[in-house]
Each structure stands twice: as structure tokens, then as C-alpha cells.
Chain A
Amino acid sequence: MDAYLLAVGTIVLIYALLAVGLNLQYGETGLINFGHVAFFALGAYTSALLALRGWPLPLTFLAAGAVAALSAIPLGFAALRLRDDYLAIVTLGFSETVRLVLQQEEWLTRGVQGLPGIPGMYTSLAGTPRAWAIFMTLLAVTALAAWAISLLQRSPFGRMLRAIRDNEPAVQALGKNPAGFKIRVFMVGAALAGIAGAFYAHFITFITPEQFIPLVTFYVWMSIILGGIGSVRGALLGSTLLMFFLEGSRFIRDALPGIAEVQMANVRLALIGLALVLFVLYRPQGLFGKRTV
């Protein structure tokens, strides 16, 4: 049970790191990014491929963040011209493109077969101590990221982000160029997603393009909606709540006799959907949010 809880906890933290970045983009700046998983994927593959070539792990993590941040620049430029639903479609398309490229470029990524045998973290340890070491490292990184983002929110830079979210033409008329702010926000969010991807790759040790479907993006969206848009604490607790729904629904089978294993997967998704709908109906501002969705 310890091992199971630690594994779930690790996944919660990976989602929390993703949620902190997305919350900066949407909650603070109003950028609708439906392609968050692309940066998660790029981070995972970057770190995995470099580690498989013998790079030391901390370096591959930094490279994962850097590659993800740089790949956000073209998307940042798209965001300058597009708003709301248009940006949502373009970012979604971007993440599917990234996934398909990872699938097709077999010389680099081995395509659909995926990358097995990715070096794990703390291989000198084993069993529960190793799981704890991974969990604590991830906890420290997530806490650091959350702290850095909350400092950002309280800085003049963060104030400009909220001003852009509220009224972009007014920001321009006041002599400031929203473009630079938006690109930076895309890059910071992408860097965090890239680092989350690196943790994921070295935790699971086997990645395929199929793990980076848009559903992952929407799980992160669910996290920030559950936790409360615009709140760092909300992003952290929202991921926990999401995983509680996702994992908790596994145990429902014991209470629901007469449902086959195959059907259970669909019942689970339906229950998660229902839980989300009820949650948003009765608490539209999320756990810690100030605004409704």
C-alpha cells in the first residue's frame, strides 16, 4: 500500500507541476492553452533521449525545461494574433502535431514502440526508500516552482499579466507591448511542463507517444478548475483532488457487482465526468479560486 500511495503521490506532484504552469498562463494571463501536453512530451523525450545517451540526470532535466521553453516561442507568436477559442484550437493542433512527430520520427524516438529502459532516478537506492527519495525530490521542485510563481504573481510583472487578461487594447494604449509578456508566460509554463515531463519519463522509465494525448492537457485543466483558477494553492490541491477522483474510482468496482473489467474503464470515466460536473455546479470558483470558470 505504501508503494501504491507513493506512486500516486508522485503522479499527483507531476500533475501539480503541470497545473502551476497552466494556471500562470490561463489563470493569470487569460491564455487558453489546450496544448500543454506538448511541452510535457517534449520534456519527457528530451530528458529520456539525453539520458539514454549517457548524460547525467540533473543536466537532462535542465535540458528538458530549456527545450520545452524554446519550443513555446512559436506558439507565443501565434498567441499574439489569436484570442480565446482560436488560440485554443491552434494550441490543441500544436500538441497533436508534436505527438505525431514523435510517432513518425522513428530514427530518433523509435515511434510507436516507444523508448524503453530510460534510466531511473536514485538507482543506488531500491524499494520504498527509493520511492520516497523520488517523491521528496519532486515535492521540493514543485514547492520551489509554486513559490517562484506566487512571487511572480505579486510582482509588477504579474500585475501586467492580469491587466493583459482584463483588457489588452488598454495595455497597448498605455505604452506597453503585451507580446513580450505573453511569450514569456508561455515559456515559463512550458519550462515547468518540460521539467514535469522529465520527472515522468524517469519515473515511468518507458514512454510512448500514446501517453501524450490531449486527455492529459484536459486533466490539467480539470485540476485548475477544481482547485480554483488563478490560485497557486488551488493548482496544487486541484491535482490532488483530480487524482483522488481518478484513482478513487478504481475502488468503486468492489461496490458495483456485475460490471465487467472492460466496462469498468468507461464507468470510471463517466463517474469522473459526473464528479466534475457536480463540483463545478456547486462550487464554480473551485477550492481556492476568486473567479468562476
Chain B
Amino acid sequence: MNVLQVHEACVNFDAFRAVDDVNLSLASGELLGIAGTNGAGKSTLFAAIAGQQDTSAGRIEFQGADVTRKPVHERARLGLARTFQTPREFAHLSVLENLLAAAPNRRHESLLSSWVGRSASQRHELELVRQADEILAFVKLMPVRDQAAGALSGGQKKLLELARVLMLSPKLIMLDEPFAGVNPVLIGEIIEVLRKLHARGIALIVVEHHLQALKSFVQRLIVMDQGRILADGDPHTVLDDPRVQAAYMGGVV
């Protein structure tokens, strides 16, 4: 079954059509890159799938369920997670607390649980800490576990965002420009983590400007231009496509 299915999606901003009749399906466990120049519509499409942006027409299905009109938090609960281009860490919380705050925990996060049943809540916390530690070790953020998240470097914040969404046990993770503003060493580490997540069977969509980095690890690449999908296929074929080369600065890729 497809994890994600986008049917004829359009997003209009008044007269301007930012996403124009896009069809896209993603098999579970697939690793997809989406590239395109500024204004090609990739970020808008991304936001429409995650739920921050309403679609003007079309339908979005996640694991077979229609989520077109569902708010962001309900989509995330179903396992559709995203990270942000500009990291949105909880700056005054520690790295560990960032992960704990992300854990699905409706029972113990109720107002009443602040006062009633605290020992059950604390036992559950210990279990969450164990999970969080495992994930922090996985993304190599253990050394900064107890630091305030606001004090991390740009690249570490990107890793933190990734670690945070892993607390949701997502079926699909969408990453918005994970390499923007990250130094080359950390880019390598992020790619390494993405490869491992792919190997675990989690579907990934990576929206990225950085074509070289993208090409090096995705299975499938989509290039967008003027709100439409220009080419879709394996990265080498797509990048050799003359229309793609024309869209990217008149042939210089």
C-alpha cells in the first residue's frame, strides 16, 4: 500500500497557482527527494502534505485515509511527521526535554495528572527517557543531552528536530531543506542518519536545494518547476533530462 497519495492537488494564492495539479504517490519505505528552483512550489507542496497549507483542490491520502481537511496535529498523530527549514527547537527546554515533549503522552499530559497519579506518571516518564536516550544515541546527540536546545549549533538543531519526530514512531518523515545552513561534516552525519532510517523502512521525503547532496542518497527524485512536476524518476535520469537542465539556470546543474 502507498504511504502517501496526492491526487490532483492545487494550491492557489489569489490568481497565482503555486502548486498546479500535482499527482504523487509514495510507496511505504521509499526515499524521495524533491528539488526545484526558488518558487518552484516544492515548499508549498510540502506544507500542503503536512497540513500547514490548505489545498485549493485535490485530495491527500495518508496510509489510505483522506487527510485533506485534517489539521496538522491530527496528521502528525497518524504518523506523518515533518521537520522545519529553520529549526523550531524548544529553546528553553533541554535536548532531552525536547524529545520528551514530543512523545505521544495524552494520558499523563492532562492537567489533572499534574496533581493526581503522579507516581504512575513518573514511571511512564522513565520509560520515555529510555526511548529518548536510545534515539539521542542514534543521532549522536548524547553529549548535549542536558543542554538547553537553544544553545545548539544549526546542524545539531536539525538533528534534534529529526530525533524529536522519531519519538512519534512515524511512518513518513518529511524534511524541509535539512542541509540548509549546515556545515559539510554534519551534512554527512545527517545523510548517514537518513540512510539508516530508510533501512528501517521509514518513508522519507527530502525537499532540498542542494542537488549534489540529494543525488548521493535518494532512490527517486522529483524536480518541480512552476508548480508542476517536471520530471520524476531515478536521480541520474532526472538530472540528465534536458527540461530539468533548462529549468535549472539554463542548463548548468
Contacts and interface: CB of A to CB of B under 8 A. Distances in A.
Interface of A: 148, 151-152, 155-160, 162-163, 165-167, 169-177, 184, 188, 291
A152 B115 contact: yes
B199 interface: no
B92 A162 contact: yes
B84 A166 contact: no
Contacts of A166: 89-93
B183 interface: no
Contact of B109 (A156, A162, A188): A156
Given A163-B101, A172-B73, A156 B113 contact: yes
Contact of A156 (B71, B77, B105): B105
B118 A167 contact: no
A185 B28 CA distance: 40
Which of A156, A170, A177 neighbours the largest number of chain B CB atoms within 10 Å of its CB? A156
B21 to A, nearest CB: 26
Interface of B: 50, 52, 71-74, 76-77, 81-82, 84, 88-93, 97-98, 100-102, 104-105, 108-111, 113-115, 118, 121, 125, 164-165, 167-168
Contact of B93 (A148, A163, A176): A163
Contacts, number: 95
17 contacts: A148-B114, A151-B115, A152-B115, A155-B118, A156-B105, A156-B109, A157-B111, A157-B114, A159-B93, A159-B97, A159-B100, A159-B101, A162-B90, A166-B92, A167-B89, A173-B50, A177-B71
Interface of chain A, main secondary structure: helix
A167 B88 contact: yes
Contacts of A172: 71-73, 76
A173 B84 contact: yes
Contacts of A151: 114-115, 118
A54 B61 CA distance: 61
Given A169-B52, A188-B111, A174 B71 contact: no
Contacts of A177: 71, 73
Q: Which of B52, B102, B108 has the most CB of A within 10 A?
A: B102
Contact of B76 (A156, A158, A174): A174
Interface core residue of B50, B84, B90, B104 (most chain A CB under 10 Å): B90
Nearest to B90: A166
B92 A291 contact: yes
A159 B114 CA distance: 11
Contact of B101 (A148, A152, A174, A188): A174
Given A157-B111, A157-B114, A169 B125 contact: no
Given A157-B113, A175-B104, A163 B90 contact: yes
B76 A170 contact: no
Query: For A159, A167, A174, which residue has the most chain B Cβ atoms within 10 angstroms?
Result: A174
Contacts of B93: 159, 162-163, 166
B72 A157 contact: no
A169 B76 contact: no
B73 A175 contact: yes
Contacts of B111: 152, 157, 184, 188
A148 B77 CA distance: 30
Given A157-B113, A162-B93, 7 more contacts: A148-B114, A151-B118, A157-B110, A159-B100, A163-B98, A166-B89, A173-B88
A172 to B, nearest CB: 4
A160 B115 contact: no
A33 to B, nearest CB: 18
Q: Which one of B50, B72, B91, B104 has the highest number of Cβ atoms from chain A below 10 Å of its Cβ?
A: B72
A157 B121 CA distance: 11
Nearest to A150: B114
A159 B109 CA distance: 9
Contact of A158 (B104, B114, B118): B114
Contacts of A291: 92
A174 B115 contact: no
B122 to A, nearest CB: 9
Contact of A175 (B77, B88, B98): B77
